[in-house]
Structure 1
Amino acid sequence: MSEVKLADLGRALRLTAGASMLDLACGTGEMVSTWSRDHGITGLGVDISTVFGEQARRRASELGVGERVAFVHDDAAGFVAPEPVDIAACVGATWIGGGVPGTLDLLARSLRPGGLVLVGEPFWREDPPSDEAVRGCHAQARSDFHDLPGLVELFGRLGWDLVEMVLADEDSWDRYVAAQWMTIRTWLDANPDDELAPECHGSARLRPLPAPLSGLGSVRPKDA
C-alpha cells in the first residue's frame, strides 16, 4: 500500500476531525499518524514490537501529532480499546484473530455503534499454479486466501456491509518488496559479523514473491 493509496483510503473513509481510531498490529504507526495529520483524528496503535513502537512514536512526533496519537506495546490479539472508537482497524495482520472472521469479531468489540471497521487482507489475483507458488505467497494452502469476489462475499456472509475499498497494485507491491532489499543490504554492511548475517544475506537476493494483491475494505455492521 503506497503513500498515495494510503492517503486515498483516508479520504475515502470521510474522516472527520476528532474521530477516534484503534489500529491493531499498527507496525510503525504510519496510517494512524498520517491520518491524524491530514484529518485531525485521534488514535491508539497497538503492536507487539517494541522497535516498531519506538519508531511509531518518533514518526508521530515528526508529523506533529504526538499529542493526538498514542502507541502501546501489547499483543494485538485480544486487545480491546478502553473506550469505543469510531474506526477499528487491522491492516495486513488478520492472523491476530485467526483470519478475517475472528479479526472482525475482535475489532467489533472496540467499535462504537455505527462505527467503521477497516480490514486489510490479501486476495488471489489468479489461481496459484502450484503448491510452491502458494508457499511463496506466505500461505500454507490456497484456502488461506480468497479471490476478490470471494473476499467481498465473505464480508456479507459474516453480517457486514462492504462500504468502501482501496486496492494495492503490482507497483505498490514491488516498491514494498524492493525497499526491503536496500534495508537488508544496508544492515549487512553495518553488521557483517552478526549471527543473523548469513540468513539475511540470502534473503537480500530474493526475487519479488508472487504474492497476492492486498485489498483494503471498510465494512459496517448491517444492523448499524
Structure 2
Amino acid sequence: MDHLRHHAIRESSHRILDPFTDDQLATLGRALRLDPGATVLDLACGKGELLCTWARDHGTVGTGVDLNPAFVDAARERAASLGVDVVVELGDAAGYVSPTPVDVACCIGATWIGDGAVGTLDLLARSLAPRGVALVGEPFWRSDPPEAARAIGDFHTFPGLVAAVQDAGWDVIEMVLADEASWDRYVAAQWLNLRRFLDEHPDDPLAPAFRDELTTAPLDYVTNQRPYLGWGVLALVRRP
C-alpha cells in the first residue's frame, strides 16, 4: 500500500494532523511564552500548522521536516499564505539534526521516528540549544483498556509516560492535553474524507482498503479508542 498517499487522503481536510483543535494548539504556544525570533524545529511536521501559526502569533522562526510530499506542499502553501518565516524540507525526520541549535524542538504525534517518546527526546536533544524546550506529543491510556483496545498500540498510562521521561533526565515544564471532543474532530473528519474519496474514485487501488476502514473504524473508535485513549503534548527541559 502507498502509505504516504493513504495518509494524505485520510487527512486531506485537516490542517492539524493530531487530535488537537486550533485553540489547543494556540494554548500550547501561549503556555511556552515564546519570544519573537525564537527558533522552532518540528520533526514530522505534517502540514506545518504549529510552525506557521506560532510564527504568525509569536514571531517565531520555523523549520519543518516531513516525508510526505503532499504534506510538505500544504505546509509551504500555508507558510506563504500567512507570510511567515517558515521553511519546510522534504525528508526523513528520523535522525534529522538541525545544523544550528534551536530554542524549541518538537515531534508531535510521530514519536515512532525515535522508537518512542524517550528515544525521540534523545533525537530532539541533539538539535536543542542549552535550556531549550523539547515537545513530544504522544498517546497514552487514560484508563485500563480491554484487550481489544490494546491492539491499537503499546502505550503507557499517563503517569507511566510522565515517569518515563522524568527517568530519562527531563523536567516536565508544561502540558496541554487533547479531550474526547478534539479526538472526535481528528478521527471522525477522516471518515468524511474517506467517503468522499470513495464516491469520487471507486476504482482507485486504495478503494478496497478505504471501504474496509470506513466499515469498521467508527464502531471500533467509539468502542475501543474514545473511552480509553488519551493524547497530549509534554514540554520538557533536560536536567543539567
TM-score (norm 1): 0.93
What is the number of equivalent residue pairs in this alignment?
214
Partner in structure 1 of residue 55 of structure 2:
36
**Mapping of 1:21-60 within 5 angstroms?**
21-60=40-79
Give the CA deviation at 1:90.
0.3
Give the CA deviation at 1:187.
1.4
2:90 to 59, 67, 73: 73
Matches of 1:122 and 1:172, distance apart in 2 = 13
- Is residue 189 from structure 1 mapped to residue 199 from structure 2 by the alignment? yes
- Is residue 129 from structure 1 mapped to residue 137 from structure 2 by the alignment? no
Partner in structure 2 of residue 10 of structure 1:
29
2:230 to 207, 210, 213: 213
Identity of aligned residues (%): 55
**Mapping of 1:105-124 within 5 angstroms?**
105-124=122-141
Partner amino acid, structure 1, of 2:130: P
Partner in structure 1 of residue 99 of structure 2:
82
Partner in structure 2 of residue 171 of structure 1:
181
Partner in structure 1 of residue 108 of structure 2:
91
Matches of 1:28 and 1:214, distance apart in 2 = 19
User: Structure 1 stretch 86-95 or stretch 183-192: which is displaced more?
Assistant: 183-192
Partner amino acid, structure 1, of 2:96: F
Matches of 2:200 and 2:149, distance apart in 1 = 33
Report the 3-state secondary structure (helix = DSSP H, G, I; strand = E; otherwise coil) of the residue aligned with 1:82.
Answer: coil
- For residues 116-163 of structure 1, the C-alpha deviation after alignment (integer angstroms, 9 at most, x for no partner) is 001111110111111x2111x2x1xxxx21111111111210000000
Partner amino acid, structure 1, of 2:41: L
Partner in structure 1 of residue 5 of structure 2:
none
List, as ranges, runs of 4+ consecutive aligned residues in structure 1 with deviation greater than 3 Å: none
Matches of 2:162 and 2:116, distance apart in 1 = 14
- For residues 57-99 of structure 1, the C-alpha deviation after alignment (integer angstroms, 9 at most, x for no partner) is 111112221xx10000111100001110000000111110011
Matches of 1:26 and 1:163, distance apart in 2 = 22
Matches of 2:166 and 2:206, distance apart in 1 = 44
Partner amino acid, structure 1, of 2:102: V
Q: Which runs of 5+ in 2 are unaligned?
A: 1-19
Q: Which runs of 5+ in 1 are unaligned?
A: none
Give the CA deviation at 1:196.
1.3
Report the 3-state secondary structure (helix = DSSP H, G, I; strand = E; otherwise coil) of the residue aligned with 1:59.
Answer: helix
User: Structure 1 stretch 68-77 or stretch 190-199: which is displaced more?
Assistant: 190-199
TM-score (norm 2): 0.87
Matches of 2:190 and 2:79, distance apart in 1 = 22
Partner amino acid, structure 1, of 2:103: D
**Mapping of 1:136-175 within 5 angstroms?**
137=152, 139=153, 144-175=154-185
